[in-house]
Structure 1
Amino acid sequence: MLSVLIPIYNCDIRALTTVLHEQLMSSQIVFEMICLDDYSDKKISALNAEIEQLQFTSYHISDHNFGRVATRQALAEQANYERLLFLDADVMPKSEHFIAHYTSLLASAYDAIYGGFAYALEPPKDDFMLRWTYGTSNEQVPALIRNQAPFKIVISANFMITKALFITLNSQITQRGYGYDNYFGALLKSNKNTVFHIDNEVYHLGLEANESYLNKIEQSVDTLLKLEINKSIQDTENTLYNTYKSLKKLRLNYVFSWIYKSFKNSFKKNLLSSKPDIRVLQFYKLSYICYQDLNS
């Protein structure tokens, strides 16, 4: 038995749900597919309402915008089955055996199973290069490598988890914002949960424009810093966080803060260009978190 849960915000999910439904019906398992719209534009919602024609599928619309965390929590609480498969609305399964790969692990002892992320081989238009470049270098990682540090790359856009565990951990995220996947991974690790990665990717189709994505990166770093200030993170495999902590211990955070203040415009020029350098992005994030820590 499997509950497929899809949080939605301003995204047409008809193609995704059609593909998933075909695979679910072929699998011959007991399933439900629940889609919760977080108060999208009415034109999008009207299109998405068509999916209710699919068997064992329901589509709900929130009465206002609650955010990603609360929407996922509501989906989990509505689910009738013990295993939850969360998928973002802007993805598409890479394999025609996508559901079968997950259902083969329904009886496994793993608490959470992550399928992975994939990106189109063809680069997008220049204005979307930052998201694509970061995704292909940092998120499109084989399961063999992900399993070496299982709590490091935990992408909530494609994973299966037990219902009780998700509700327990997700309820500890009490703020709205971007970048809480890192915290969820830290919670899984500190809770000593078993995490397993498989090569069962979804294509990430909803690439953000460069400037929009850079803003989200800054938000995710702000989230990480807020969690550190509140002493919410006990243990994590996040490279940025651990490097920042090491720099702070050596008081090198002052140097990196100065670097951000002095070179942020040069960094941004590269990152918003048609050929962003991931090394520049990593340096930008590290100097940004040091600057924010000392100046916020």
Structure 2
Amino acid sequence: MTQPATETLTDNAAWASLDQKVAAPRLSVLIPTYRDDPSALLTALDERGVDAEIVVLDDGGGDAALTKRMAGRIEKLKLPARLVVLSRNEGRAKGRNRLADHARGRHLLFLDSDMLPDPKDFLTRWAAVAADDAPVAFGGFTLDQAPRRPEHELHRAMALKSDCTPAPERAREPAKHVFTSNLLVRRDVFEIVAFDERFAGWGWEDVEWALRVARFYPILHIDNSATHLGLDTAATLAAKYEQSAANFARVVAAHREAVSAYPSYKAAKALKAAPLRRAWRPLIKAVALNEAAPVPLRAFALRLYRAALYSDAV
């Protein structure tokens, strides 16, 4: 039987001081990380005069040097901050649920560790949304500050086409355009609708959560974006799609009516009747990974490869 993960905590002086006052902050910023250094994000978030705290979860990364750097950075923050280090990896859904257990604020702001706020008053803006007591809000993300690297051009092209969208466009399909990379949730909402810990690996746990929460609460979309710095190589992105197929199947099983309107579902459905899918899937993947091919062609091939993977679920 697998032993539960154990926690090691590092709190800065401001965290302990706030705890002694028995005063809850308005906003709890929750940052899961796995072998990534969130120092740039933490520096950007340390805004003076914001009623907020920060909790970082090292999800069993096992890098002692990185953990030591994170602990040192946490101790220097002006905002109340805590570092939670797990003895083993728990995964994206369970890790975020654990972060919520450590939060003391009425509103929880989930941020990925490879994000960097775009506006300088990023937390101040989120605190204002929290002051209005919004149940759920998503701020959007961009690639504005992400450096251009040849090995990331495919991911950049795909993200710009489908993910980096302004608030009015996202608001047309509120649940579909929700990611945990920049997501505000009121505590009582999260206590009713937490992330499904049966999801493993990468992908779809945030969309599935949004589909459940949208049954009971409105999802607000605003333009308070953060840049996604962690673009992947084509090979890494293809591997993530491969491991996400099981998660896609779980979403389809629970929310088929809603998901059936998504382009990813429609493409998978169209390919379901195609003969010898598993025989030609590697050929499509090879086109996507070929850096000599034009980026639009590679992007089309990778979307087709993803649809072929997902076709078993529809």
TM-score, length basis structure 2: 0.81
Partner of 2:161 in structure 1?
A: 137
Quick one: which amino acid aligns to residue 68 of structure 1?
R
Q: Tell me the SS of whatever aligns to 2:193.
A: helix
In structure 1, what is the equivalent of residue 209 of structure 2?
184
Distance (whole Å) between structure 1 residues aligned to residue 107 and residue 249 of structure 2: 32
% identity of equivalent residues: 25
How far apart, CA to CA, are the structure 2 residues paired with 1:210 and 1:171? 28
Cα distance in 2 between the residues matched to 1:267 and 1:199? 36
Q: Which amino acid aligns with 2:272?
A: N
Q: What are the equivalent positions in structure 2 for 1:65-214 lying under 5 Å apart?
A: 65-120=89-144, 124-179=148-203, 180-189=205-214, 191-214=215-238
- Give 1:109 shift: 4.8
| Cα deviation, residue 31, structure 1 | 1.8
Counterpart in the other structure of 2:5: none
**1:276 & 1:270 partners in 2: Cα distance?**
10
1:186·1:235 contact (CA, 8 Å) conserved in 2?
no
The question of 1:30 aligning with 2:36 is answered no
Deviation for aligned residue 1:86: 0.8
Number of aligned positions between the proteins: 280
Partner of 2:35: 10
Q: Give the counterpart letter for 2:51 in structure 1.
A: V
Q: Deviations over 1:174-230 (max 9, x none)?
A: 2322111221222123x23210111111111112221111110122232111343xx
Q: In structure 2, which of residues 274, 286, 289 is the aligned counterpart of residue 269 of structure 1?
A: 286
Per mean C-alpha deviation after superposition, the further-off stretch among 55-64 and 172-181 is 172-181
* C-alpha deviation, 1:72, in angstroms: 0.6
Cα 1:211/1:49, change in 2 over 3 Å: same
Deviation for aligned residue 1:6: 0.7
Aligned-partner residue type, residue 287 of structure 2? N
Check the 8 A contact 1:185/1:236 in 2, yes or no: no
Kindly indicate whether residue 305 of structure 2 is the aligned counterpart of residue 288 of structure 1.
no
Structure 1 residue identity aligned to 2:207: N
Partner amino acid, structure 1, of 2:273: Y
The structure 2 residue matched to 1:232, chosen from 241, 249, 254, is 254
Contact 2:195 2:209 in 1 (8 A): no
CA distance in 2, matches of 1:91, 1:72: 16
Q: Tell me the TM-score normalised to structure 1 length.
A: 0.85
Segments of structure 2 that go 5 or more residues without pairing to the other structure are 1-25
Query: 1:268 and 1:241 mapped to 2: Cα distance?
Result: 17
> Cα offset for 1:235?
4.8
C-alpha RMSD of the superposition? 2.3
Tell me which moved more, 64-73 or 160-169: 160-169
Conservation of the 8 A alpha-carbon contact between 1:260 and 1:284: no
